Structure 1
Amino acid sequence: MPGLLRGIARTAVISGTATAVSNRVSRRQAGRWAEQEQRQLAYEQPAAAQPPAPPRTAAPSSMGDDMTSKIDQLKQLADLKAQGILTDEEMQAQKRLILG
C-alpha cells in the first residue's frame, strides 16, 4: 500500500507542476500576442491621425522669431506624444524636420 500512495502522490505532483508550467506559458504567450497586436495597431493607424508636417518659413523676419517658432512646434510635438498620438520614431522624425 505505501508504494501505491507514493506513486499517486508522485503523479499528483507531476500533474500539478505540468499544469502550472502550462498556465504560465499560456499567459506569457498571450502577453506577447497582445504586444504584437498593439504594435500592429499603431502602424495601421490612418494617416489622418498623424499631424501634418509643420509649415516651413522661407525667410524668417528675425532669428528670434524662427527660434520661438521651432520651440512652439517642439512643444506641440511633445504634447502629441504625451497624448499617445505620436510614437517615439514619429516624434524623432518630426524633430529632425523642425530642427533641420
Structure 2
Amino acid sequence: MLRRGRPGLIGLAARTAVVAGTATAVQGGMANRQQRKAQSSYEQEQYEAAQQQAMMQQAAQDAVAQQQAAAPPPPAAAPAAAAPGIDLIAELQKLASLKDAGVLTDAEFTAAKSKLLG
C-alpha cells in the first residue's frame, strides 16, 4: 500500500527530525571551525607578541653593551693620602702636640698637615 500525497504524521515528524538534526550538525561544525580559527589566531598573536618582546629585550641588552663599551673606564682609586706604613691620626696628633708645645709655628703646622693629608 503506497500512499500518495502528503506524508502522514509520522513521516512529517521524521522529516522534521532529519532537517533539525542536519541543521544542528551544520551549526555545530561551523561553531567548531570558528572556535579553532579563533584559537589559531590567538596563538599566532601570542607568538608574535613573544617574538617582539624577545627582540626588545635583545635590543635593550645591545644598547647596554654599547653604552658600557663607549663609557670611559671608571677613575682609578685615589692614591692613599699617607704612605702605607704611616698612621695618619698619630702623625696629626704629634704635629698638634708640637704646635701646642711651641716647637712649630702656625705656618709650619699648616704646611706639615697639608703634606700629610696629600
TM-score (norm 2): 0.39
Flag the structure with more relative contact order, 1 or 2, with Cα contacts below 8 A and sequence separation at least 6. 1
